Amino acid sequence: MPLDPVDLNIVQCLARDGRISYAALGRLVNLSTAAVHYRVKALERRGVIRGYAARIDPVAVGLGLSGLVAVETSGSLDALEHQLEEMPEVEACWSTAGTSDMLLRVRTADPVSMERLLVRLRELDGVDRTRTTVLLDTRFEREPDLSTLMGGEEAAVHRRDRGVAEA
């Protein structure tokens, strides 16, 4: 079920500031605190809002080297997925179409740790081959832009007409 413009606006506000109070969120979207609370809880139940978390700078906690690892397999993707879930260095795992079966986003402290991780990955049951791209710098990273669902400029006009502040 698609989101209505008010729910889209609520999700956009929470994506910018997941710690915003219901009262402040209500002011931004022109709803009462109770109405916003009800809508946020409904969005959580529907799985639109999957959770709230602090965004940690990996370099600041000693995890300065990241990479993308394309994995070609010969076995069950499900079995391999379970093995990968046990590896804390694997931050994300995507099933892919094309030359590889999976794409992993991995993060380690340094090149030596990355090499050890890649050896462990190649030793997993079902892994035939890996190709790794080391990421040097994150130029930008962002959450999905939900305003495109409302037509970009049309969404901005809609928010202005309703008196909703632009962040």
Q: Answer yes or no: do 68 and 30 share one domain.
A: no
Q: Answer yes or no: do 99 and 37 share one domain.
A: no
CATH number for the domain harbouring residue 16: 1.10.10.10
Residue 145 has pLDDT above 90, yes or no: no
Q: Tally the domains of the chain.
A: 2
Residue 81 covered by a domain: yes
Residue 106 covered by a domain: yes
Please state the φ and ψ torsions of residue 147, each to the nearest 5 degrees.
Answer: -65, -25
For residues 65 and 109, the answer to whether their CB atoms sit within 8 Å is: yes
Quote the domain boundaries for residue 107: 59-135
Residue 165 covered by a domain: no
Q: Answer yes or no: do 99 and 41 share one domain.
A: no
Residue 90 covered by a domain: yes
Q: Answer yes or no: do 88 and 124 share one domain.
A: yes
pLDDT in tens, 85-139: 999 999 999 999 989 999 999 999 999 999 999 999 999 999 999 999 999 998 9
pLDDT in tens, 35-84: 999 999 999 999 999 999 888 999 999 999 999 999 999 988 999 999 99
Residue 145 covered by a domain: no
pLDDT in tens, 117-129: 999 999 999 999 9
H or E element: which one contains 128?
strand 127-135
For residues 121 and 112, the answer to whether their CB atoms sit within 8 Å is: no
Lay out the sheet containing 102-108: strands in order across: 90-95, 102-108, 65-73, 127-135
Residue 94 covered by a domain: yes
CATH number for the domain harbouring residue 131: 3.30.70.920
Residue 158 covered by a domain: no
